[in-house]
Structure 1
Amino acid sequence: TNRMVLNQAFSYLLSLLERSNLDLIYLTWLWNLFKPLCILLISLFVLPAIILIFMYGSSLFCLIYKHWNRLKAAYSEDLWYGAIKTLAVFWELQATIWHGYEVEGLENIPTQGPALIIFYHAALPIDFYYLFAKLWLYRNRRIRVVADKFVFKIPGLATLLEALEIQPSTSTMCKLMLEEGHILAISPGGVREALFGDQNYQLIWKQRTGFAKVAIEAKVPIIPMFTKNCREAVRAMTLGRRKCLSNRIILFSSSLTTFRVV
C-alpha cells in the first residue's frame, strides 16, 4: 500500500514537472512575441515619465529650498504668521508646477496702504488663493477677504478661517478693513456667479454695488482682476472637448480710484 502511494505521488510530481516545463516554454514564447512591444512602450512612456518625475522633483526641491529661509524667519515671529507663510509656499508650488501660473501687473498692487481688488468668482476661486500666496511671498502684503455666512458653517474650516482672518461679508467690515490699511479682495458675484456662470465669463452681479460705495467712501484704488481659464480649473468631464488650463492673471491699472454706479 505504501508503495502504491509513493508511486502515485511520484507520478503526480512528474506530471507537474512536465506541465511547468510546458508553462515555461509558453511564457518564453509570449515574452519573445511581446518583447518588441514592451521595449517600445518603455521607451515611449516609462522613460519619459521617469524623466518628468525627476524634473518636477528637482523643481519642487529648488522651490522649497528657495523659500526655506523665509519660513524659518516666519516661524520665529508668530504662530499664525508662520503657518500662513507655509501655506503660501505650498500654494505657490502648486500654482507654479501644476498650472504654470503667472501674474501680469503685480506692480499695480501698492506696497503700502489700502486697496480694493475686485475679481470674478469661478466655481472654485483657486486664482485668489494663488494671488494671495504671490502677494504674501513677493510683495509682503496680505490680502484680507470677506465670505458669505454659509462658509463659516462648513465643518473643519474654522481654524483656517481664523488663521486667515476671514470675516463675514458686510459693508461695515469691508470699510473697517480698508480704513485699517489692508488690501481687501471682493467678488461681487459671489456664490451665484460661481454656480451659474459659464465659459463665457459673464458677470452676475445683479444689484450688488455695495463694494463700490465702500471704495468711494474709503477713497481707495480699485484694482479689477481676471484670471484666464479660472473656470476651467474645476469643471465636469465633457467628451470631445479639451481645454488646456493656463492660468494667467491680469491686474489692471490701479489708477481707477473711483467707481461710478450706472
Structure 2
Amino acid sequence: MGYVNCQCLIMFMCLPIFVVSLLPFMIAVLVYQSVLILTGYVIYCKILQNPYDLHTTSNVASRAHRFTWYLHGWIWNGYEVQGLENIPDSGPALIIFYHGALPVDIYYLIAHLFFHKDRVLQAVADYFLFKVPGLKILLESIGVIPGSQETCTKTLKDGNLLAISPGGVYESQFSHRYNLLWKNRVGFAKVAIDAKVPIIPVFTENLREAYRTLSTGKSLFEKIYNATKFPFTPIYGGFPVKLITHIGKPIPYDPELSPEQLKTKVANAIEELIAKHQRRPPSILRAVMDRIPAFRVEHKDHIVSKES
C-alpha cells in the first residue's frame, strides 16, 4: 500500500513537468496540420493538372490554414490586436517586432490582418527554418522569406507589408525579461531607408509567458549558438495566456536619419510599448488570469496608480 502511495505521489509531482513538456507539441500539431492542408491542395491540383500558386490567398488551402491559426489564437490565447488602424489599408510598410521564444504572435497577426484588413503580411525568417522537414511549403504559402536586404527592399517596393525581428533567433533564446537583443543590426533600417517606407513598431503582451526558453545554462547554449547558428536552447510552455499584439504609431520615412539613428528610434518605440503594456517581472499565472476582463482592468489600474 505504501509503495502504491509513493508511486502516486511521484506521478503527481511529475505531472506539471509532463504537461509543460507536452504543451509545445500542440503548436507542432497545428503546424503540420497546415502542412497537410497545403500538401493535399498541391497534390489535388497536380492530379487535375490545374495551375496552382501557394503565394496567392485566393485558393481554399491558403484561407483554410490561415483560419486554423486565427481560430487557435482566439481559443487558446484569447488573441487580440490593438492599434489595427496603424496598419495602412494599402501600400508598403515595414513592421518591426519583438521576437518571443516562439513567434506564434506573428502567425496570429498574419491571419488577423488577412481576415480583418484583407492584407497579406510577409515576414522574414532564419534560413534554418526552411530546412525543417515539411516547413518550407507552409512558410512559402504565408509569404515568409529568408530575406536578404535586396529581397526585403524589393518586397517593400512592390507595395507589400513586411515583418522583421532584428533580434531574430538570438533574441528568441536569450531575452528572458523582454529586453531587446539587437546587437549592431541595422539591416532593417537600411531596408526601410532604401525602400522609403514607414516603420511600424509592434509588441505582443505576455508573449514570453506563452512560451519560454530555459534560462539555466544560458552561457553554454549561447556558445553553442554562436558556433553553429542553430538554436539548441530548450523551449517549454504553450500556456493559455492572454496575448494582445500592440501596434504602435508608424515612424515615417525620414531621409535625414542614418540607419543607426533610425534603429535607435525604432528600438525606443518598441521599448515604450513594452514598458506601457508588459508586466515585469513576468508571471505565467497572472498572464493566464489576464484573460478575465475584470482582472485585466484591475491590473491596468494598478499599473497606472503605481506610475502616478
Per the shorter chain, which TM-score range?
0.5 to 0.7
- In the other structure, the counterpart of 2:211 is 234
After TM superposition, the structure 1 stretch with the greater mean CA deviation from structure 2, 219-228 or 142-151, is 142-151
Q: How many residues align?
A: 182
After TM superposition, the structure 1 stretch with the greater mean CA deviation from structure 2, 140-149 or 77-86, is 77-86
Q: CA deviation at 1:237?
A: 9.5
Give yes or no for the alignment of 1:156 onto 2:152: no
- In the other structure, the counterpart of 1:252 is 248
Task: State the distance in 1 between where 2:126 and 2:214 align.
Answer: 28
Give yes or no for the alignment of 1:142 onto 2:120: yes
Residue by residue over 1:5-48, the C-alpha shift from the partner in whole angstroms, topping out at 9 and shown as x without a partner, is xxxxxxxxxxxxxxxxxxxxxxxxxxxxxxxxxxxxxxxxxxxx
- In the other structure, the counterpart of 2:84 is 106
- In the other structure, the counterpart of 1:85 is 63
SS at match of 1:103: strand
Q: Name the larger-Rg structure.
A: 1
Task: State the distance in 1 between where 2:240 and 2:143 align.
Answer: 34
After TM superposition, the structure 1 stretch with the greater mean CA deviation from structure 2, 155-164 or 97-106, is 155-164
- In the other structure, the counterpart of 1:173 is 151
Task: State the distance in 1 between where 2:105 and 2:183 align.
Answer: 23
SS at match of 2:212: coil
Task: State the distance in 2 between where 1:256 and 1:231 align.
Answer: 29
From 101, 111, 136, the equivalent of 1:123 is: 101
- Aligned amino acid, residue 180 of structure 1: D
Task: State the distance in 2 between where 1:110 and 1:172 align.
Answer: 23
Task: State the distance in 2 between where 1:163 and 1:244 align.
Answer: 27
Task: State the distance in 1 between where 2:152 and 2:213 align.
Answer: 34
- In the other structure, the counterpart of 1:187 is 165
Task: State the distance in 1 between where 2:214 and 2:135 align.
Answer: 28
Q: TM-score, normalised by structure 2?
A: 0.55
Q: How does 1:200-215 map to 2 (within 5 A)?
A: 200-215=177-192
Contact 2:96–2:164 (Cα < 8 Å) also in 1? yes
Contact 1:85–1:137 (Cα < 8 Å) also in 2? no
CA 1:217–1:236: 2 relative to 1, 3 Å: closer
Task: State the distance in 2 between where 1:88 and 1:115 align.
Answer: 21
Task: State the distance in 2 between where 1:254 and 1:120 align.
Answer: 16
SS at match of 1:235: strand
Task: State the distance in 1 between where 2:105 and 2:68 align.
Answer: 14
Give yes or no for the alignment of 1:96 onto 2:92: no
Residue by residue over 1:105-141, the C-alpha shift from the partner in whole angstroms, topping out at 9 and shown as x without a partner, is 1011011100000001100001101110010111010
Task: State the distance in 1 between where 2:128 and 2:214 align.
Answer: 28
- In the other structure, the counterpart of 2:305 is none
CA 1:137–1:244: 2 relative to 1, 3 Å: closer
Task: State the distance in 1 between where 2:114 and 2:91 align.
Answer: 15
Residue by residue over 1:183-210, the C-alpha shift from the partner in whole angstroms, topping out at 9 and shown as x without a partner, is 0000000000001110x20000001101
Residue by residue over 1:237-260, the C-alpha shift from the partner in whole angstroms, topping out at 9 and shown as x without a partner, is 99xxxx972111110112433465
Q: CA deviation at 1:165?
A: 3.2
